[in-house]
Amino acid sequence: MCSYVTLEPYKGGANRDTPYSITSQLPLTSLGEYLGLVKTRSNILDLNHKNNIAVGPKNINVTFPSIPLDDCVDVTIKSGEETSYIVENVPDVKTLIVTVNSSKADAFHELFVRHAKPATTYQHDGGSKFALSADQEVVIPETIAGKYYVLMRRSDSSQTVNSSQLCARIAKFEIIRVFPNQVAPLGNATLRFEGTLFGQKLDAFLFNVSGDKNFFIKAQEVYRMSSTEVYATFMTTRFVVGTTFHVKLVNLETKEEAVLTRALVIKRGELGRLETHIDFPEVLSLVTEESGVITVSYENVGDTDILTPLLALSASGGQTRLRPILTDRGSLQASPTVIFLAQAFQGPGGILPPKAYGEVTFDIVPSEDMLGRERFALRMLEGGDQPHVYMKSSKDLKPEFLSDELWAPVWQNFLVSVGKSVSSFHNRMSAVSTFLSRSGRRVNVLTDLVQFQLDMANGKLTGMLTASVHKF
């Protein structure tokens, strides 16, 4: 911090020295001992520069209140305030969980955790993910031995003082929550299990609260996305409305079990149903080089799974092209029509579970001579027995370096894998999307999914032909 000071002329000592002081809040600094520095800058000619910098005679000891591992502390902060804590002696290669449990639901908190250095809102190893929530949680999946700093903020409009519990613990194999916690007995429902230390090979089960504890309903499919997130698909058609289930995960390698009681309720509802919304600029000015984007958002508002829909966004006027904005890769080529899978933000890419939602954003690329109105249309490509859009695209998709003779078996392998109908093609593209999402790749643009399937048909991803061998 800086401050202006006024010096009187020396006048042979007639003017005495004048003391000045500056009081400043200490910035967020790591735990340790520091020295204070005072430095003067002046436009007065100074013959003795050595006296312009001084070091404080005492150490400044920076300390933080601590949260003991596997314990909690009480925290009281007002809206607009923040506080920092430290978790010491965190062991190596473990999973650290830091939580806030509030006494008031209208007190919105944020939580940030960082190793070795103070956590900030923009520098942290893990941050809370529930917007406008009183209770928060941060999971650090693989710790580094040492200290972890915790920053807790409150950002609601209430002026009341709120008491919360801030807790830190080393994780064990457990289920923390299940979403959704209500489904209808109308078909498949994929549930999201959130927790810690989820192994590579898992089975998921439901068992009735009031029924036989030895009778379990096994999931049809389990999708492990990470050590803290797993999805499990259950067939619910035989469930009775009003029934409550416990959920259980079994680690097939260690035989450990994790149970969350009363995690799922069967209710009346409706089949999975997609709702969409398009947000786009009303006016696009080329004179000012104003850029425009279209955002397509979607949600499964029903209570059962739906196959991730194939949507097509088109600019019907022919003067505008669209380019998907992707965070994990460079810009794609712009096109008047873009076909994409309406994937959820998380989970298996080929399934849109109950209440799951997502969005895709597109750049608007108008032509230079564009003037007037443009019409945008969003439609769903319905499944059926009619031929899919790529049935006659062999020549368009053939690489220039590949001869017709070598391309023929590749194309045949592709058709064998995707089928000939819209329905079979949609199912295969959804399966490819799910496969990629399980390895951490979220691919939803149809051209990318088709190229991946062509690479498989050509043996690029497996090292061998996937269907038949031809002799030439």
pLDDT digits (tens, 9 = 90+) for 180-189: 999 999 999 9
Q: Are residues 209 and 288 in the same domain?
A: no
Segment 61-71 shows an average pLDDT of 92
Local confidence band at 293 (pLDDT 50, 70, 90 cut-offs): confident
Is the pLDDT confidence value at 154 over 50?
Answer: yes
**Global confidence as pTM:** 0.73
Kind of pairing between the strands at 320-324 and 32-39: unpaired
Looking at residue 472, its pLDDT comes to 37
Local confidence band at 105 (pLDDT 50, 70, 90 cut-offs): confident
Segment 36-53 shows an average pLDDT of 77
Domain end position, chosen among 170, 191, 226: 170
Token pair 């994790």: residue: 258
User: Cα separation of 242 and 244, whole Å?
Assistant: 7
Local confidence band at 279 (pLDDT 50, 70, 90 cut-offs): confident
Token pair 């942290």: residue: 124
Q: Pick the more confident residue, 342 or 48.
A: 342
- The tokens for 19 are 């003391």
User: Cα separation of 257 and 246, whole Å?
Assistant: 13
Q: Are residues 110 and 56 in the same domain?
A: no
Is the pLDDT confidence value at 426 over 70?
Answer: yes
Pick the closest to residue 302 from 145, 468, 190 (CA basis): 190
What is the domain extent for residue 405? 394-457
Looking at residue 469, its pLDDT comes to 43
Residue 197 is assigned to a structural domain of this protein: yes
Cβ pair 345, 303 in contact under 8 A: no
Q: Which of 334-343, 357-366, 369-378 has the lowest mean pLDDT?
A: 369-378
Local confidence band at 457 (pLDDT 50, 70, 90 cut-offs): confident
Is the pLDDT confidence value at 112 over 50?
Answer: yes
Is the pLDDT confidence value at 467 over 50?
Answer: no
Chain centroid, CA 188 distance in Å:
24
- Alpha helices per DSSP H over 187-322: none
Instruction: Report the domain count for the chain.
Output: 5
Q: Is 457 helix (H, G, I), strand (E, B) or coil?
A: helix
Looking at residue 471, its pLDDT comes to 41
Q: Are residues 431 and 343 in the same domain?
A: no
Token pair 């994409």: residue: 340
Residue 430 is assigned to a structural domain of this protein: yes
Looking at residue 288, its pLDDT comes to 42
Is the pLDDT confidence value at 445 over 50?
Answer: yes
Q: Are residues 76 and 32 in the same domain?
A: no
Domain end position, chosen among 155, 170, 185: 170
User: Cα separation of 151 and 111, whole Å?
Assistant: 6
Residue 220 is assigned to a structural domain of this protein: yes
Looking at residue 167, its pLDDT comes to 95
Q: Are residues 319 and 262 in the same domain?
A: no
How would you write 54-96 as a 3-class SS string?
EEEEEEEEECCCECCCCEEEEEEECCCCEEEEEEEEECCCCCE
Q: Pick the more confident residue, 138 or 52.
A: 138
Looking at residue 470, its pLDDT comes to 43
- The tokens for 470 are 């031809």
Segment 49-58 shows an average pLDDT of 79
As a whole number, the mean pLDDT across the chain is 86
Could you tell me the CATH number of the domain that includes residue 193?
Answer: 2.60.40.10
Q: What letters, b where the CB count within 10 A reaches 16 and e where it falls short, cover 147-184?
A: bbbbbbbbebeeeeebebebbbbebebebbebebbebb
Q: Which of 1-5, 87-91, 419-423 has the lowest mean pLDDT?
A: 1-5
Q: Are residues 371 and 287 in the same domain?
A: yes
Q: Are residues 166 and 120 in the same domain?
A: yes
User: Cα separation of 233 and 219, whole Å?
Assistant: 5
Is the pLDDT confidence value at 161 over 50?
Answer: yes
Segment 163-171 shows an average pLDDT of 92
Segment 277-300 shows an average pLDDT of 72
Domain end position, chosen among 119, 148, 170: 170
Is the pLDDT confidence value at 240 over 80?
Answer: yes
Segment 446-467 shows an average pLDDT of 74
Chain centroid, CA 36 distance in Å:
42
Longest CA–CA separation in the chain, Å: 108
Looking at residue 459, its pLDDT comes to 78
Segment 311-339 shows an average pLDDT of 77
Could you tell me the CATH number of the domain that includes residue 138?
Answer: 2.60.120.380
Residue 282 is assigned to a structural domain of this protein: yes
Residue 1 is assigned to a structural domain of this protein: no
Is the pLDDT confidence value at 464 over 60?
Answer: no
Chain centroid, CA 169 distance in Å:
23
Residue 467 is assigned to a structural domain of this protein: no
Q: Which residues contact 262 (CB under 8 A, 6 or more apart)?
A: 209, 244, 245, 246
Is the pLDDT confidence value at 4 over 90?
Answer: no
